[in-house]
Amino acid sequence: MNWKWITPKLLVISAIILFATLMRLVPHYPNFTPIAAIALFGGAHLGKRWIAFMIPMIALFISDLFLGFHNFMIPVYFSFALVVLLGTLMRNNIRIPFVIGGSLAGSVLFFLITNAAVAFMTPFYPNSFQGLMMSYTMAIPFFHTALLGDLFYNAVFFGGFYFVQQRVPSLKLA
């Protein structure tokens, strides 16, 4: 079996993602979690596309084993898969404006997809456009915290990895 795809860069990035997954398990301010940042960072830095999708998804699944499974897992995982895709789009041009834009876009995608699922998969809202708008309106306070968490964790992951790459040049290799 050919194991050449396992590089020091892959191991360091995987360790960052697994650490972030553990951060999801410790007490934290509601919605201030590293989840979307895991997906964006993994998509941007993990070389092979299948690895970029698998490692963040496996990390999320492992943390869900401890946090518990729920009826909205498919929309949640789908939204994070789209955030991984956003990360892969910025892979060759990782710059501060793109990280901020990816954070914003990832937060908005997650907000739109998961709250649409809540609107249409629960009895809390009428199954209509009005119900969807009610779901979005009720979720706005949670969006602010999630957005701040995404921006914070993306700054930590992308910035931290950039500084580590400056000290360990072999991590710059694809």
Q: What's the total number of domains in the chain?
A: 1
Q: How far is CA 53 from the centre of its chain?
A: 11
**Rounded CA gap, 20 and 62, in Å?**
12
pLDDT of residue 2: 66
pLDDT of residue 79: 95
- Residue 64 domain-assigned? yes
CA distances from 27 to 21, 37, 67, 86 (A): 12, 18, 12, 28
Burial class (CB in 10 A: 0-12, 13-18, 19+), 66: exposed
CB neighbours of residue 110 within 10 Å: 25
pTM of the model: 0.88
Q: Which residues form the domain of 154? A: 8-169
- Residue identified by tokens 């993602």 is 17
- Residue 174 domain-assigned? no
- Residue 1 domain-assigned? no
CATH of the domain at 148: 1.10.1760
Q: State the number of CA atoms in the 13 A half-sphere of 53 facing the CB.
A: 9
Show pLDDT as tens, one digit a residue, over the chain (174 residues): 566 667 777 788 778 878 878 888 888 888 888 888 989 998 998 878 888 898 888 888 888 898 889 888 999 999 999 999 999 999 888 999 999 999 999 999 999 999 999 999 999 999 999 999 999 999 999 999 999 999 999 999 999 989 988 888 877 764
User: Going by C-beta distance under 8 Å and a sequence separation of 6 or more, which residues neighbour residue 148?
Assistant: 32
- Residue 159 domain-assigned? yes
- Residue 77 domain-assigned? yes
